[in-house]
Amino acid sequence: MFFLFKTILSGLIIALVSTIARRYPALGALVASLPLISVFGMLWLWAETRDPVRMETHVEATFWYVIPSLPMFLLIPYLMRHGVGFYPALLMGCVLTAVLYMGVTWCAARMGVNL
């Protein structure tokens, strides 16, 4: 039952963002940029585990993984402005993000941060 609740609420947030963005793109972007998924993820994790060590690890890892995801949001519009279609631009943005995730994971391990 809890899984169904989480699924419905998460779906409603995505639908809300796309509905707002259709009429007000910048406001939709603002809502999409809110760390709602992270906050809900923390709430669900806490409700299910009440484990402070797991929560600390999750929140810190989330911080490290947000950073390499940001360039995607610059690459996609850049590519589209230069004639690349949306789906190829999205794919390239996702590939860039995956490569940067691997780089952050590798660098973090070298610095003693366990992701």
pLDDT of 33 over the 90 cut: no
Handedness of CA 18, 19, 25, 26 (dihedral sign): negative
Report pLDDT digits (tens) over 81-107. 999 999 999 999 999 999 999 999 999
Is the distance from CB of 88 to CB of 79 less than 8 angstroms? yes
Where in the chain are the domains? 52-115
Model confidence band, residue 22 (pLDDT cutoffs 50, 70, 90) = very high
